């Protein structure tokens, strides 16, 4: 297969086609343990074409190619995670605020040291005492933003888990295989390691993660 099949729009389209055939199926298994989180709530509801054509994040940064592709298919996945304001615009949160909203205090306060580095974050499904967060900032060479895992099970932790939304949805859908003994395992992956290392330089001064105190 060509490289485009494993990255960006090409990879995202493969996932969309698999979801389109059964949009209400669970993202995560086993459902008895994690609950039913459908890919799509009801029927797919794409973003209005005109709105999507002009859409940017509040910072002015462009949507990544994979996000633009997904929004052309469906918005319900993001609506459930609080991506949009009442006026339909994007509603990002700095990392510490998102952690505080999702995991409570004092956990949010412990991430204040990363808030300036990650000021424009969006929640994604996944995790129990951890969360998956799309961190809009400097994009990689494909124009994608990283998905960061935040965890408070032991010491507060933030680490690069996926190089982009494209790889996040592909791994959840089963197109990308990774056992994740640690959150940052894709950093050594033969296909995705290069992009992970690009984000490491931009996000954690060359490292794949950061631990408290940040």
Average pLDDT rounded to a whole number, residues 72-97: 97
Please determine, for residue 83, whether its predicted confidence score (pLDDT) is greater than 60: yes
Q: Where are the beta strands (DSSP E) in the chain?
A: 120-124, 130-136, 147-151, 157-162, 209-211
How confident is residue 69, by pLDDT bands cut at 50, 70 and 90? very high
Closest CA to 142 of 16, 4, 14: 4
Closest CA to 23 of 47, 49, 7, 45: 45
Interval 19-40: pLDDT, tens: 999 999 999 998 878 889 999 9
SS3 92: coil
Per-residue buried b or exposed e for 81-119, using 16+ beta carbons within 10 Å of the residue's own CB: bebeeeeeebebbbbbbbbbebbeeebbebbebbbebbb
pLDDT for residue 213: 93
How confident is residue 8, by pLDDT bands cut at 50, 70 and 90? very high
Average pLDDT rounded to a whole number, residues 138-151: 97
């Amino acid at each position: 297969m060509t490289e485009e099949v494993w990255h960006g729009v090409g990879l995202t389209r493969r996932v969309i086609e698999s979801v389109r055939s059964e949009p209400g199926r669970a993202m995560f298994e086993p459902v008895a343990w994690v609950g039913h989180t459908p890919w799509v709530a009801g029927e797919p509801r794409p973003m209005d074409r005109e709105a999507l054509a002009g859409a940017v994040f509040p910072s002015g940064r462009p949507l990544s190619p994979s996000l633009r592709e997904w929004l052309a298919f469906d918005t319900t996945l993001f609506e459930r995670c609080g991506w949009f304001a009442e006026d339909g615009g994007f509603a990002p949160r700095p990392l510490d605020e998102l952690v505080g909203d999702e995991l409570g205090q004092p956990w949010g306060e412990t991430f204040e040291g990363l808030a300036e580095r990650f000021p424009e974050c969006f929640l994604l499904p996944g995790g129990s005492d951890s969360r998956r967060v799309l961190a809009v900032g400097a994009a990689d060479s494909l124009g994608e933003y990283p998905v960061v895992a935040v965890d408070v099970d032991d010491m507060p932790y933030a680490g690069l888990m996926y190089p982009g939304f494209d790889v996040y949805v592909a791994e959840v859908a089963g197109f990308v295989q990774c056992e994740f003994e640690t959150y940052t395992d894709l950093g050594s992956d033969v296909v995705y390691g290069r992009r992970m290392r690009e984000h490491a330089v931009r996000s954690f001064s060359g490292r794949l993660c950061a631990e408290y105190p940040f």
